[in-house]
Amino acid sequence: MSVTVLALPGNESLASALAALTQATLGELEVRRFPDGESYVRVLSPVAGKDFVLAATLHQPDAQMLPLYFLASTLRELGAARIVLVAPYLAYMRQDAIFHPGEGVTARYFARWVSTFVDGLITVDPHLHRIPQLEAVYAIPCETLAAAPLMASWLKQELPDAVLIGPDVESEQWVSEVASLAGCPFTVLQKTRRGDRDVSVSVPHIDAFRGRTPVLIDDIVSTGRTMAAACRLLTEQGFARPLGIGVHAILADDAMEALHQSGLARLITCNTIRHASNGIDLHPLLAAATTRLLNQLRQSAPPREEA
Ligand code: R5P
């Protein structure tokens, strides 16, 4: 079965890597905005009977979602056999509960919508906290990949004397796994978030780790305030300037500046979102998952008909 990979704007290097690593065709697409801000999508490659892989990492999702939806719907109408979304960063996972009266669980609404227009989803370390697994909210087969083994390999090679520090209890799941794979000790801080850019962290029991290089590990670095607060705390405690390792480099607005001012020695991220801090390549992991998921879909169900 022939497979075509299409890149949503900004995802060209991911799409090229997926096509090269899975021996698929790199397809052509036109995506642009009309003067009134509406989206225009045109598929320039043959569609009927083919499987499609859509490369679309979903940071800043609101601008991307309509083109993605229009693309998947167009492919379906033109007779695509199966459509797999490769979204190394999966948006809308953090509003996974009602925190204040009047809110909705947008993680669930988003998942319900995406499940209506693609047949399978591949992502890396989605922010699973109160949602136990993607299948609890997505109604399609999902491949949930972990960056931990590759982060651990990087640490083993570059910083074998590290102590890993998670900035909050939510990070324990990633930090403990990376630590066990890298053979490093770890600890987790207590975080209090008072607003989007107002975060404080508590003093941890880290005296035992003096002499090691502190490495802050988090899944998402968004405003950078969580990592910056943890970094300041460690340097105030007399530790060497920490290094930060994040999976998803959202790095919104002045995040890099906030990290720099906090004294962070260096930030290394995985290439789930393209950024100058990318230092850990997950494309081979994503390509292997793409082949696996397409095979699974081929075995489990005939191509879906347009409703
Ligand atoms: C929180 O739940 C996440 O694991 C990250 O700690 C958080 O998203 C980081 O956000 P920011 O960089 O905006 O502090």
Residue 302 above 90 pLDDT? no
Q: How far is the CA of 222 from the centre of ligand 1 (A)?
A: 6
pLDDT band at 192 (very low <50, low <70, confident <90, very high): confident
Distance CA 42, CA 153 (A): 41
Dump pLDDT digits (tens) for 269-292.
999 999 999 999 999 999 999 999
Extended strands (E) in the chain: 3-7, 25-26, 29-33, 39-43, 51-55, 82-86, 120-124, 142-145, 162-166, 186-188, 191-195, 198-201, 213-221, 243-249, 266-270, 278-280
In terms of Cα–Cα distance, which of 219, 217, 218, 228 is closest to 259? Answer: 228
Dump pLDDT digits (tens) for 211-260.
899 999 999 999 999 999 999 988 988 889 999 999 999 999 999 999 99
**Mean pLDDT, residues 20-29:** 98
CB of residue 199 inside a 6 A radius of ligand 1: yes
pLDDT at residue 297, rounded to an integer? 97
CB of residue 170 inside a 6 A radius of ligand 1: yes
Dump pLDDT digits (tens) for 39-83.
999 999 999 999 999 999 999 999 999 999 999 999 999 999 999
Residue 306 above 70 pLDDT? no
| Mutation choice for ligand 1 from 93, 96, 219, 261, CB with most ligand atoms inside 8 A | 219
Give, using CA atoms, the residue closest to atom 8 of ligand 1.
Answer: 220
**Mean pLDDT, residues 172-183:** 94
Q: Which residues are catalytic?
A: 191
**Mean pLDDT, residues 84-91:** 98
CB of residue 262 inside a 6 A radius of ligand 1: no
pTM value? Answer: 0.92
